[in-house]
A and B are shown apart, each in its own frame.
Chain A
Amino acid sequence: MRPELSAKERMQIKRVVMPAQDAAERSRNFKEVNLGLTLEQAQREAQRCLDCKHKPCVAGCPVQVSIPEFVTALAAGDLPKAAKYLKGDNALPAVCGRVCPQEEQCEAKCVHAAKGEPVAIGNLERFVADWALANVDKVEKPEVVAETGKKVAIIGCGPAGLTAAGELRKLGHGVTIFEALHDTGGVLRYGIPEFRLPKSIIDIEVEQLVEQGVEIECNVIIGKTLTLKQLKEQFDVVFIGNGAGLPMMLNIPGENLKGVYAANEYLTRVNLMGAGQSQNSATPIIQGKKVAVIGAGNTAMDCVRTARRLGAERAMIVYRRSEAEMPARLEEIQHAKEEGVELVLLTSPLGIKAEENGWCSALSCQKMALGEPDDSGRRRPVPLEGEVYDLAVDVVVNALGTQANPILTSAAPELELNRWGNIVADETGATNLPGVFAGGDIIRGGATVILAMGDGKRAAAAIDDYLAAN
């Protein structure tokens, strides 16, 4: 039973502060920054939940996690029940609890948010999910359903593909994931760093899917190794979750100098290939002392904090707007600042200059000011005439963002795309081709983990209907 407290008493409890590694120390290691709540902290935080009948928080969550239900179960100390609620709605809660932009989603809608201290739903989600990972035997296993004999191919082993795979397997369909890289997880593995999302979590989640009978084939590039057409012949349905892995270029002079990286290369070298993680790692990376990262989204924050951990004395975010417009998660910005990351704001890069030996040495910068709001509602940066200066650097990372990678779609011209090269899909994930569904970044452009998972979940339901009808 949840301890009886009055609403007023619940309102008076202060929001829990997530314990974290000391900032100076963690800025030099790759271990997870957030240490996780203790049971006592988590239960106390869970007491703050008012179990609102109209559940505003749930409406803020793209997959409608049963928030009051799992939180009140946690408050009552019934962790298996909390885990059951959570797992029922969210295939990767240990991931979402760590990387969701909660302040814009579930927590933004919490009734406590008006006073600035919403229930720490993300932290609680993480707590329950981690407990479930460590106590597999105490968590109810999904029921084994009879095999339907239907076969679904899933392209891409990121959050969209993994979620669709899990849901479809639960329904008794045969599922095979085809992944281009040599390892699973998509951006969760090659993009988001260990200090934010330990790889062991992805390993366990993937292992559980495999135990449930999901087959995963790495090193298969659809569009190259096999075509979409071949998959359609061999499977009843295909789900495409191949993400948005194509870096946007800066298109400024000097972007091919030595020491200039696209974010995906920088992060892949470290996260997927282990560069800089130990003395004898096979993959090299340039460990700059003065690193400028261009952009201010989650990717930029991950790059700049990685640079710091690789030994940068100056790790800088170069962004054309001000701090208020930075699109990254709030926690990442705060953590980055604590770790000594410098924000070079209202600054737009004009070009990269080199020393004679071809290594980048300076970022030529234009000072900006904020003008009128643009289409996105954010105030448009305008250059301040004559205010140009050089920022000394030895590594530059372009974290402008990514767009749809055409390797699959260019080999399947029958698939309808929008003008940005994203696959066109309706709200169930159905594309213009019968039996072909899509979700995640490939239909949205660079979005979020939870939106990709939501797509995977909705598509799985639609695929199940499709299989029943056909």
Chain B
Amino acid sequence: MFEVVSNEVLAPDLHRMQVKAPRVAAARKAGQFVIVRSAKGDERIPLTIGDADPVAGAITLFIQAIGAATRKLVAIPAGGFIRDVAGPLGMPTEIEKWGRVACIGGGVGTAVLYPMAKALAAAGNSVMTVIGGRSKSLIILADQLSAFSDELKITTEDGSLGRQGFVTAELEVMIADPERRPDAVFAVGPVPMMRAIAEQTRPHGIKTIVSLNPIMIDGTGMCGGCRVVIQGKSKFACVDGPEFDAHQVDFDILIDRLSMYQKEEAHACQLASTATKA
């Protein structure tokens, strides 16, 4: 059992949870994730380790409640317990000194981006951050990211904060400006966003890293469910990734495979909501 130390709402349906998991906190590197199961019988879900405090033995998770399992998880209050937390899993972010890097986060992807950006800044890179969301209330971690970013741009689809439009618009401006053109791009967000960024940087030959989010079960390379196609070859995102070179990712297969259980998930959500009502 893993104790929930704190649980705050950062934005609608977006929670920041601190969880006691001393071994994970001690071993974890930026870019790695845990697999979490609220209680017996629940789904195992992958979540990026947003931050870790090895002294306090706690890890920070940013959780967007989108389905049955994530909703159940964010409903656990401080002082409550999560039954299973396993990790740290996946390969750490390859932290290099690139020079100037653009870190781009969309929606809850911003939470996955945060530890990467922080580690890149700590390694001496100049970090330019762009975060985007549908509207102002969904923009998260702006203050935390600006603490180590040389610049921070915000985009919202409805124009309620920052530039109206998508994160790609800000990246376009950066690439066009010789003073700001990034040496590497790190992008995490919805798959269509990551694909758009891959296409944007490809003609310029700018190294681009994305963090993929296929459906996972064990997270240890045992089940083969998290297959992604990289340069025409099947890879297991949980052990070979989750970060990959965006220019080698087959995004069509990723999108397709993510929709495998759409029908069943709608059913699970309905079950969960009837359960809360009852």
Contacts and interface: CB of A to CB of B under 8 A. Distances in A.
Interface of A: 180-182, 218-221, 224-226, 245-247, 249, 255-259, 261-262, 264-265, 268-269, 273-274, 280-286, 358, 398, 405-407
Interface string B42-63: 1110000000000000000000
11 contacts: A219-B84, A245-B220, A246-B221, A249-B234, A257-B256, A258-B256, A258-B257, A258-B259, A264-B222, A273-B44, A282-B42
A286 B260 contact: yes
Say what secondary structure dominates the interface of chain B.
mixed
B27 A246 contact: no
B44 A182 contact: yes
Given A225-B87, A258-B256, 16 more contacts: A180-B86, A180-B218, A218-B84, A225-B88, A226-B27, A245-B222, A247-B224, A249-B224, A256-B234, A261-B225, A268-B223, A273-B43, A282-B268, A284-B261, A358-B259, A398-B224
Contacts of B260: 258-259, 286
Contact of B41 (A246, A259, A282, A406): A282
A407 B239 contact: yes
B222 A219 contact: no
Nearest to A217: B23
Contacts of B271: 280
Contacts of B41: 274, 281-282
A383 to B, nearest CB: 24
B68 A282 contact: yes
A264 B86 contact: no
Interface in B59-105: 68-69, 83-89
Contact of B220 (A259, A282, A405): A405
A281 to B, nearest CB: 8
Interface string B231-257: 000100001000000000000010011
A246 B222 CA distance: 5
Nearest to A275: B264
Interface string B13-44: 00000000001100100000000010001111
Contact of A284 (B88, B89, B239, B264): B264
Contacts of B118: none
A405 B234 contact: no
A284 B268 contact: yes
B27 A225 contact: yes
B269 to A, nearest CB: 11
A224 B88 contact: yes
Contact of B224 (A181, A257, A264, A407): A264
B229 interface: yes
A52 B68 CA distance: 61
B150 interface: no
A316 to B, nearest CB: 21
Interface string B144-181: 00000000000000000000000000000000000000
A207 to B, nearest CB: 16
Contacts of B268: 282, 284
Interface string B121-142: 0000000000000000000000
A364 B271 CA distance: 38
A358 B256 CA distance: 7
A219 B20 CA distance: 14
A124 to B, nearest CB: 34
Contacts of A265: 217, 223-225
Contacts of A269: 217
Given A225-B27, A265-B225, A282 B43 contact: yes
Contacts of A264: 222-224
Residue picked from A249, A284, A405, most chain B C-beta under 10 Å: A284
What 7 A-B pairs come out closest when comparing CB atoms? A284-B264, A262-B224, A245-B222, A265-B223, A219-B86, A265-B225, A247-B224
B199 interface: no
B217 A407 contact: no
A20 to B, nearest CB: 30
Nearest to A407: B220
A221 B217 contact: no
Contacts of A249: 224, 234
A245 B86 contact: no
A287 B227 CA distance: 20
A358 to B, nearest CB: 4
A226 B218 contact: no
B265 interface: yes
Contacts of B24: 225
A407 B221 contact: yes
A283 B41 CA distance: 9
Contacts of B27: 224-226
A185 to B, nearest CB: 14
A256 B229 contact: yes
Given A256-B253, A282-B41, A182 B83 contact: yes
Contacts of A280: 271
A224 B264 CA distance: 32
Contacts of B265: 284
A189 B271 CA distance: 26
B225 A262 contact: yes
A35 to B, nearest CB: 28
B217 A256 contact: no
B81 to A, nearest CB: 13
B67 to A, nearest CB: 10
B217 A273 contact: yes
B89 A224 contact: yes
Nearest to B224: A262
A257 B268 CA distance: 23
A256 B44 contact: no
Residue picked from B42, B68, B256, B265, most chain A C-beta under 10 Å: B256
A218 B40 CA distance: 13
A138 B224 CA distance: 45
A182 B37 contact: yes
Nearest to B68: A282
A225 B29 CA distance: 11
A265 B260 CA distance: 14
A164 B220 CA distance: 23
Contacts of A181: 86, 218
B72 to A, nearest CB: 9
Contacts of B267: 284
Given A269-B217, A273-B217, A247 B84 contact: no
Contact of A221 (B37, B89, B261): B89
B232 to A, nearest CB: 11
